[in-house]
Chains A and B, each alone.
Chain A
């Protein structure tokens, strides 16, 4: 069982480019999440999905979009990347979307926007 996989591992991107970060889980978890991690700011929620077909905005959603066409995949898209989106991005999933469900994290994607 792989758990959660993310791709790419790292990416350098020119400002203004479109980029999709991929996330796949094989645990059949209902809920999935995208976080960004910045030095000194910790992990911040970008978007989440409680179940396939639904998505919601987190703490820092601007400049990002997500889709949840099926249970396993939860891609994150930067429509037009800006340098402030340089960060490490983590995808996570949990069995339910409840307030007491443990979230399990992927290995992360390191994104640099120049």
Chain B
């Protein structure tokens, strides 16, 4: 069936390096995507979103890229810091689905080492 997924379950990077977390989706009707960060013992925290009429969106130290041709989403974190260690989820909100329904990937664990 259609699902939001992630290419890698874990990612380890050195402090100061850039991180790239990937997400694949298969529903071409999806028109809105969100990245969440979840630290251990806490709820998901909104990072950045992007709509399907955009290819790129930048925030503070984060950039989301959307490639609709291959149905791929990525989150880039610049100058990764220890505080960035967390699980990162992508989520899609499929057009025509139950209002407000978010479909989540299973997450990628990002570990930042000194």
Binding site for B on A (CB under 8 A): 4, 31, 33, 40-43, 45, 48, 50, 56, 58, 90, 92, 94, 96-108
Count of chain A to chain B residue pairs whose CB atoms are closer than 8 Å in the complex: 70
Chain B contact surface mostly: loop
Decide if B95 touches A99 in the complex (CB within 8 Å).
yes
Decide if A43 touches B104 in the complex (CB within 8 Å).
yes
Contact partner, A48, options B42, B51, B94, B98, Cβ 8 Å? B98
Beta-carbon nearest neighbor of A106 in chain B: B43
Q: Nearest 5 pairs between A and B by C-beta?
A: A105-B43, A100-B32, A43-B104, A97-B99, A97-B100
On whether A100 and B31 interact (CB within 8 A), knowing A42-B89, A43-B89, A58-B101, the answer reads: yes
A61 smallest CB distance to B (angstroms)? 12
- Complex A-B: 17 CB contacts under 8 Å: A31-B100, A41-B106, A43-B44, A43-B89, A45-B101, A48-B99, A94-B100, A99-B32, A99-B94, A99-B97, A99-B100, A102-B34, A103-B34, A103-B100, A105-B36, A105-B44, A107-B42
CA distance A107 to B94 in the complex (A): 25
Decide if A42 touches B106 in the complex (CB within 8 Å).
yes
Beta-carbon nearest neighbor of A50 in chain B: B99
